[in-house]
Amino acid sequence: MTRKRLPNALLPLLFGISLSAHAATHAGFPLQESADTGGDGTVKQSDTNAYSLPQSNLSMTKRLDFSVGNSFFRNPWVEAPASTTARDGLGPLFNTNSCQGCHIKDGRGQPPSPDETAVSLFLRLAVPADPETDAEVLRTHGFKPAPVYGTQLQTAALPAAKPEADLVLTWKTQTKTLADGTHVELREPIYTIENPNYGPLPEDLLISPRVAPPMIGMGLLETIPISEIEALADPRDTNGDGISGKLNQVWDLATGQTVPGRFGWKAAEPDVHQQSMGAFSGDMGLTSSLKPATDCTPEQKCDRFTDGGQPEVSDKIANFVTFYAKSLAVPARRNMDDPSVQKGAQLFNETGCAACHTPMHTTGTDLERPDLSEQTIWPYTDMLLHDMGPALADGRDEFLANGNEWRTQPLWGIGLAQTVNPQAGFLHDGRARTLEEAILWHGGEAAPAVARFSELSAENRRALLDFLNSL
């Protein structure tokens, strides 16, 4: 692949990022010239199934593994005992009965509308921890689970059990006025936990709302060498650009060690496998070898229910699901020749979005996954944690991520989010109905970039959004 080379030295290195010699740049950041956002495995489909395809460079035999994994991701798990022993053991407490129930069409979830119950959005729970007396649980969980209710609020249960509680969501709206007088309405979620079925909730309960993120490109993100991510980190902002990306350090269950975190809205999981087994355990009440317990506490007496085997998700099925989760391809860019899209790409760099949404990475080598190896990819994330200000804060720590911090969300494929799931919301809790709302919620380290966005002319704001929609 040949790329046009610009004289990098002539361009202002505004944000002190080292540039690849292979990419064209603007304002010190790379400009994507190839439509193949996910490297050689990119897929050229932009309809409602755009997120559901395997890496296009996956071998025929591996495509079979992908379809087996797909069936365990998509089809519901059931109560044990059942004739379908491979997929029984659901619950007794859970959020929903399939991965697809939250990752809708392999895309993101949504906050519930007024008459619906929350499914693809749930609350993680915790209580304040003491760094000394709670050192062990902080090392292995990253937070202190709530007594009785555990690590997340499970709003569904088998018929013979009671769900933990009901989650009720209401909205408070506010209007933001941009420099040219344009008004944008923003809505902020307010959560109430009603009908707790296992005793009163702790007074000092900490909640963190999370909506299911899209599943595309996970294997590629896992294959970015950690050294490349570490090189972007600047926890004390020594380069003085106001952006201090921090790498989370989390517990790896397989090795029993602290390792860098990559997945989840606060990068609290080291890899796709542990994240997926966490989902089986916490979201669906299913045990695996890696996570032999669910989020049931002794007070919830889940032992009285028949289990679906030990573990309930066999190693074979666990590996198929992880393979699937690592193999969903990234869709190709669209409309790259549109002048507004091209202008928007430059504005994205000039405005400072690219300081966190790092446009380009090169994956390392995974001998078992040549399709994911040595790929030039355009995920638009540094995989690091940033202080996003009080408006987005959850006030609940997770390992090194504090209550203000979130991991930069990848932007690849984001233009198709609502083609895949028309109800999809943006940001960690799905509060933003549009990309513009998502941008306007940014604060903290991103405040200067958002101020620059708010000062753009209507035409230039449109261009930036056209660029995002072409991703």
Query: Counting contacts by CB under 6 A, is residue 104 touching ligand HEC?
Result: no
Query: Counting contacts by CB under 6 A, is residue 253 touching ligand HEC?
Result: no
Interacting span for ligand HEC (CB under 6 A) from 182-190, 205-213, 247-255, 371-379: 205-213
92: Cα within 13 Å, side-chain hemisphere: 17
Query: Counting contacts by CB under 6 A, is residue 151 touching ligand HEC?
Result: no
Question: For residue 417, what are the contacts with CB-CB under 8 A and spacing of at least 6?
Answer: 107, 108, 214, 424, 426
With CB under 6 A as the contact rule, the residue among 27, 272, 401, 456 that binds ligand HEC is 272
Interacting span for ligand HEC (CB under 6 A) from 35-43, 52-60, 299-307, 425-433: 425-433
Q: Cis omega before residue 209 (within 30°)?
A: no
Distance CA 389, CA 404 (A): 6
Query: Counting contacts by CB under 6 A, is residue 351 touching ligand HEC?
Result: yes
Query: Counting contacts by CB under 6 A, is residue 247 touching ligand HEC?
Result: no
Q: To the nearest whole angstrom, how small is the minimum distance from the Cβ of residue 109 to ligand HEC?
A: 6
Q: To the nearest whole angstrom, how small is the minimum distance from the Cβ of residue 170 to ligand HEC?
A: 19
Query: Counting contacts by CB under 6 A, is residue 218 touching ligand HEC?
Result: yes
Burial 197-206 (b: 16+ CB within 10 A, else e): ebeebeeebb
Distance CA 445, CA 392 (A): 12
Q: To the nearest whole angstrom, how small is the minimum distance from the Cβ of residue 1 to ligand HEC?
A: 27
CA-closest candidate to residue 203, choices 277, 127, 134: 127
Under the phi-then-psi rule, with left for phi > 0, alpha for psi from -120 to 50, and beta for the rest, what region is 88? beta
Query: Counting contacts by CB under 6 A, is residue 186 touching ligand HEC?
Result: no
Measured over the CA atoms of residue 120, residue 323, residue 39 and residue 248, the dihedral's sign is positive
Interacting span for ligand HEC (CB under 6 A) from 1-9, 83-91, 99-107, 133-141: 99-107
Question: For residue 98, what are the contacts with CB-CB under 8 A and spacing of at least 6?
Answer: 73, 74, 75, 76, 77, 284
How many residues form the binding site for ligand HEC (CB under 6 A)? 56
CA-to-CA dists, residue 338 to 230, 341, 466, angstroms: 35, 5, 9
Distance CA 253, CA 274 (A): 8
With CB under 6 A as the contact rule, the residue among 438, 440, 463, 471 that binds ligand HEC is 438
Binding mask 353-392 for ligand HEC (x = CB under 6 A): x-xxx----------------------------x-x---x
Burial 221-244 (b: 16+ CB within 10 A, else e): bbbbeeeebeebbbeeeeeebebb
- Pull the structure tokens for residue 462: 């449109």
Distance CA 319, CA 65 (A): 9
Residue type, 170: T
- Pull the structure tokens for residue 437: 């709302």
Query: Counting contacts by CB under 6 A, is residue 157 touching ligand HEC?
Result: no
Binding mask 115-144 for ligand HEC (x = CB under 6 A): -----x-x----------------------
Query: Counting contacts by CB under 6 A, is residue 275 touching ligand HEC?
Result: yes
Q: Which is nearer to ligand HEC, 36 or 429 (CB)?
A: 429
- Pull the structure tokens for residue 231: 């090189």
Distance CA 246, CA 144 (A): 22
Query: Counting contacts by CB under 6 A, is residue 209 touching ligand HEC?
Result: no
Q: Are 155 and 164 in contact (CB under 8 A)?
A: yes
Interacting span for ligand HEC (CB under 6 A) from 16-24, 39-47, 171-179, 400-408: 400-408
Binding mask 4-43 for ligand HEC (x = CB under 6 A): ----------------------------------------
Q: Which is nearer to ligand HEC, 3 or 452 (CB)?
A: 452
Query: Counting contacts by CB under 6 A, is residue 158 touching ligand HEC?
Result: no
Contact residues: ligand HEC, CB under 6 A = 73, 95-96, 99, 101-103, 120, 122, 210-213, 218, 243, 263-266, 272, 275-276, 279-280, 283-284, 321, 325, 351-353, 355-357, 386, 388, 392, 406-409, 411, 414, 426-428, 435, 438-439, 442, 445-446, 449-450, 453, 468
